Amino acid sequence: MQAAALLFAALLAHAPGKLVIKDVAKGSGPAAMTGDLLTVEYTGTLLDGKKFDSSKGGAPFAFELGAGQVIPGWDKGLLGMKAGGKRHLTIPSEMAYGDAGSGPIPPRATLNFELELLRIDKKGATPHVTITTTKRGTGPGAKEGESVVVHYRGTYLNGTQFDSSYDRHQPFAVTIGQGTIKGFGQGLVGIKMGEKRTVVIPSALAYGPGGRGPVPANMALKFELERVAK
């Protein structure tokens, strides 16, 4: 009996684990599908609660769902999520880093992740900027090819700042449609003197799969813009 119990315990220890998905908040809009570009905020912990990685305080993480760019537990565990949704995943080692482990993650470790889906860029969709006017300006709106002077603050979708002309106390002179990322110029079309805008730019109209400087690959960006001079 003792030998049988030991054998059962050994088999149980090596039995494949199960991916456990728990929705904390549902989100809204279209569901994430294979081939979509997802931008997520995450924190990963071991079963004893020890944190091994987190995007908080830095850039979020963007990847193509189902393309093998992340561990299998993410590719399967994020299917069906909606933007704004929050999900808890418990991922067995077979769907994470397996017998080898990785960095601070020991071999055969089951992992917990708290994830928030910040944005979905649907596969095949035409990218476009989203503009929200937060303060109305006066006079004529800026046109394509026109030079304007603006202050800006650039953040990731989780609110972490990566650049700011306000911090340098030096506004930025730009000719709309030239010398900046495409989405930045599009976000300035029609802006009036004194006007403030919040502009969200998809990765395809920002720095794309290559990223640039502190901006990682495939990262959507948010800019607070203020026109301060002609």
Which listed residue (61, 63, 113, 152) is catalytic?
113
Which listed residue (61, 63, 71, 191) is catalytic?
71
Distance CA 36, CA 66 (A): 8
Which listed residue (21, 53, 162, 172) is catalytic?
53
* Other Cβ atoms within 10 Å of 17 Cβ, number: 15
Beta bridge partners of 93: none
Strand blocks (E) in 47-190: 51-54, 61-64, 82-83, 86-91, 111-121, 130-135, 147-155, 161-164, 172-175
What is the distance of C-alpha 145 from the center of its chain? 31
- 166 is a catalytic site residue: no
- What backbone phi and psi angles, to 5 degrees, belong to 15? -70, 140
- 176 is a catalytic site residue: no
- 63 is a catalytic site residue: no
Which listed residue (36, 42, 191, 201) is catalytic?
42
- 113 is a catalytic site residue: yes
What is the distance of C-alpha 31 from the center of its chain? 16
Which listed residue (63, 97, 152, 156) is catalytic?
97
Q: Which two tokens stand for residue 157?
A: 């979708």
Which listed residue (52, 131, 162, 172) is catalytic?
52
- 223 is a catalytic site residue: no
- 52 is a catalytic site residue: yes
Q: Supply the residues annotated as catalytic.
A: 42, 52-53, 71, 97, 113
